[in-house]
Every structure is written in C-alpha cells, then in structure tokens.
C-alpha cells in the first residue's frame, strides 16, 4: 500500500470518528449480557450494505447482488431505527467514512454505532473461545448457508438450522423470516445466529419488533467460515490458522 493511500484511509477514518459516535466495546461486554440473560440484537453494516444503501450496481464480495429492494429495506432500517446495536466496521470508515458520515447527517440518523469487527478480531487473535463456550450453554437457532451446518459438530450445537441460499439469499428473505417466527413461537429464549450476508440486516430489522425482546438476534457474518474450511475473506489466507483455531476452540 502506498503512503498516500494509507494516509487517505487514516484521514477518512479520523473524519468519520469526528462526525459519528462509535463505541468500541470489548467482546466481554456482549458476553456479560448473554451470561446474565440480557437480550440484545446486533446488526453489521459493512461495505456491501452501504453499496446497496446507495443504490450502486454490482455485487458484494460473496456474490450477493445489490437489489433495489434490498437497498430500500436497508435504508429503512437506518431511517426508522429500532433500539438495538447497529455496528460498523473499520473498513467502511477507511474507504467511505466521509460519504457515510454525510449520509447519516443529511438524513438525521443519530445512532451510536458499535464496532462490527469485535467478534472477527477476537477470532483472528485466537480469543474467541469465551464466545464459543457461552454459545454451547445456550439454545441456538442458526440461519446460514449449507456449508455452515457443520458448526454443529465443530463449534457449538444448534437446536435448529434454517438454510439460506449461498448466493442472493435476500430473494428468500420473507420465507426465511416466516420460518424463524414459526420456530421462535414454540421456543424459549435463544440466540438466533445469522450468517446470511446483507439479508441478515433486513431480517434482524423486520423480526426485532416481534421477537427481539425475547431472543438474541446476532449477525455473525462470515465469522464461522474458517472453522469449516471456507476461506471467504482476505484475512483467511493471510494468517496461519492452525494454532489460532486451536486457541479459539480451547484445545491448546
């Protein structure tokens, strides 16, 4: 990376943090809530979500298309927000920080953002075991693509798995929401773990008024991919994952 590009990213991030409130809570902050039964919802807004919000053409890094309706529903989630944790990543700040800050100001969106990389950073540092250990003590409804069914054998058990398409799962979002609601009606307090790309944000927003006060609705993104052998992110290829995974699983 050139010095000029690095400086530009630094300036973008600083500008964003000057204009927008971001709380970088540690992993323990969320774990304590889970341990004490304090329900919360956590939705992640990354580069793909912002591209869809702005109505850009194309697809995100996982090949999910920026459908106009997807952008509309993501915009609604910001313009008429609910009382849960909206989170943003460092990459958004460095790439599009000024543009995001401007959008939020123009639309009078005064959210206090959380750090959406909190789980992924812990994973990269080999410090994710406390979260995995906690999830092993809770009922988990997993919403994700077929390759993540294996988390049941590797990471933590789930009481039910709702499969979403590996590409363009937004096209099935209404059906998936209905299935989640049917299951939640007969289930006690549980974690609904989303790994459904940009559709996760839409589902958390849609479901929160009905079940968000009784269940944790958490967007984990691509967090679990590396554990099932899927290197879906650039950092997956840059690190030596042998010992990191062992630490995350508490076996070293």
End-to-end CA distance of the chain: 35
Q: What is the pLDDT of residue 239?
A: 61
Q: What is the pLDDT of residue 234?
A: 58
Helix ranges, 20-146 (H) = 27-35, 47-53, 68-79, 90-106, 118-124, 129-135
Structure tokens at 217: 């609705």
Question: How long a stretch of residues is the chain?
Answer: 252
Q: What is the pLDDT of residue 252?
A: 65
Q: What is the pLDDT of residue 68?
A: 96
- As for how many domains the chain has, the answer is 1
Q: What is the pLDDT of residue 13?
A: 84
Q: What is the pLDDT of residue 232?
A: 55
C-alpha–C-alpha distance, residues 9 and 21, integer Å: 18
Task: Give the orientation angle of helix 3-19 with respect to helix 90-106, to 10 degrees.
Answer: 40
Q: What is the pLDDT of residue 17?
A: 83
Q: What is the pLDDT of residue 235?
A: 62
Instruction: Kindly give the parts of the chain with pLDDT less than 70.
Output: 1, 231-237, 239-241, 252
> Please, are residues 117 and 128 in contact by the beta-carbon 8 Å criterion?
no
Q: Which domain holds residue 236?
A: 3-249
State pTM to two decimals.
0.94
């Amino acid at each position: 990376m050139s010095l000029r590009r690095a400086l530009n990213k630094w300036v973008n991030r600083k500008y964003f943090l000057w204009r927008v409130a971001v709380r970088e809570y540690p992993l323990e902050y969320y774990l304590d809530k889970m341990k004490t039964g304090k329900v919360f919802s956590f939705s992640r807004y990354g580069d793909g979500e912002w591209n869809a919000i702005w109505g850009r053409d194309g697809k995100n890094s996982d090949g999910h298309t920026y459908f106009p309706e997807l952008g509309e529903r993501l915009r609604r989630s910001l313009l008429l927000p609910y009382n849960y944790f909206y989170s943003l990543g460092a990459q958004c700040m460095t790439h599009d920080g000024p543009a995001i800050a401007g959008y939020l100001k123009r639309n009078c969106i005064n959210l206090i953002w959380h750090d959406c990389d909190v789980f992924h950073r812990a994973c990269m540092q080999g410090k994710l075991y406390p979260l995995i250990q906690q999830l092993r003590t809770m009922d988990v409804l997993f919403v994700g693509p077929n390759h993540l069914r294996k988390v049941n054998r590797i990471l933590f058990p789930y009481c039910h798995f709702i499969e979403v398409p590996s590409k363009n799962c937004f096209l099935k979002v209404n059906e998936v929401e209905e299935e989640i609601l049917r299951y939640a009606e007969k289930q006690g307090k549980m974690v609904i773990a989303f790994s459904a790309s940009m559709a996760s944000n839409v589902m958390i927003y849609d479901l929160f008024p009905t079940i968000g006060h009784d269940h944790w609705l958490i967007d984990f993104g691509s967090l679990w991919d590396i554990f099932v052998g899927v290197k879906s992110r650039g950092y997956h290829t840059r690190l030596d994952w042998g010992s990191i995974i062992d630490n995350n699983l508490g076996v070293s």
